[in-house]
Structure 1
């Protein structure tokens, strides 16, 4: 019995050495990757406003333009900017396009965000869109906001130094508004917020706040579990499981 048991143990050791060990190493690396990726997903894709800014900066750097600082104070103001439309999608574009008066930046937007009015800097560009259904941030950027040559001029303007984005639905649903505001302010001294954090207001999300904004109103096209399932299927195929 002892001999057979030792034999089984030796066979088991050979099995680990020849088959299980590489697979074990693979899953260790996979777990590390998923842990890192999961943290990345939480920082970016759980907030559509952050993801919109990421798409914007990726496009700028691809054209050898500088990355813009994602200012949370400016992001909060972008959210307030689209709330000023009060759900009127028709006022965003076309012949009847409107925009909130500049006085609202000081009188309404800044106080609602806890932004110190004296630190407001010049708005050097604005991109606003409204859709009847939710669209992924990357598609909003490439297919909706970048609709013409004027939009491209705004995107690549060399006067920009900072950016802030906001996104919200109306009464928790459609229509969905998207806004990107650009500024030539100085990092850490423009759009500064009381207490160091912009006020979180719902509904809606804004960029730069390290805020996980993932309510049922913001569909998540991809999750950590979908990566995990895909990885295990790939592993099973590779190792013949």
Structure 2
């Protein structure tokens, strides 16, 4: 799909993030641009880096200037779509991560290996979590576990944080003892990536209207000190010993 077609499809996704940023601006005194930078993933969607790791680029600052000078939501969304059309996709896996298909991991810190998931397998057979692709995803996880064991003998356990652990289609890829540990992730939960925002769109980047509508209904009571609590699917944290994964994937 062309970037122009993707930009058109992502319009509602940009809009819900703009509405959230506008609400955060009202509640916190931040400018709209500052709220968008700190509490949406628009910066990353536009290929302008990761806010908590990099300073705003000139392209982002120019975008913000135009955004704040634009009155209507329709025009703001159109500006986002134009920005997206001219951008390039974020390179995955991110720097400091090693990828295995839809999954990636970071080097361990204090024995904990953080794992990540990206939508890199949507086709005519469905999205990356389709039933027909279960073994493909498990094979990727098995290969990743072998790599972790070989490259990082200091690794002791696997840790994850994502809204996806709310879904059985995702949980079924992992050892039951791992997903059984799921609990609400302690704050703060950063909102510049997809660990929360990913729930707004499906694997083909179309808006999930039910999730969007539930989220927007929560904005009247939004807690500016814990904005991540407005999302219908909260980020869950999970972890289990590396040995649990070795047994489950027979590696």
TM-score, with length taken from structure 2: 0.22
TM-score, with length taken from structure 1: 0.23
Work out which structure has the larger RCO, using CA pairs closer than 8 Å and 6 or more positions apart in sequence: 1
Larger radius of gyration: 1
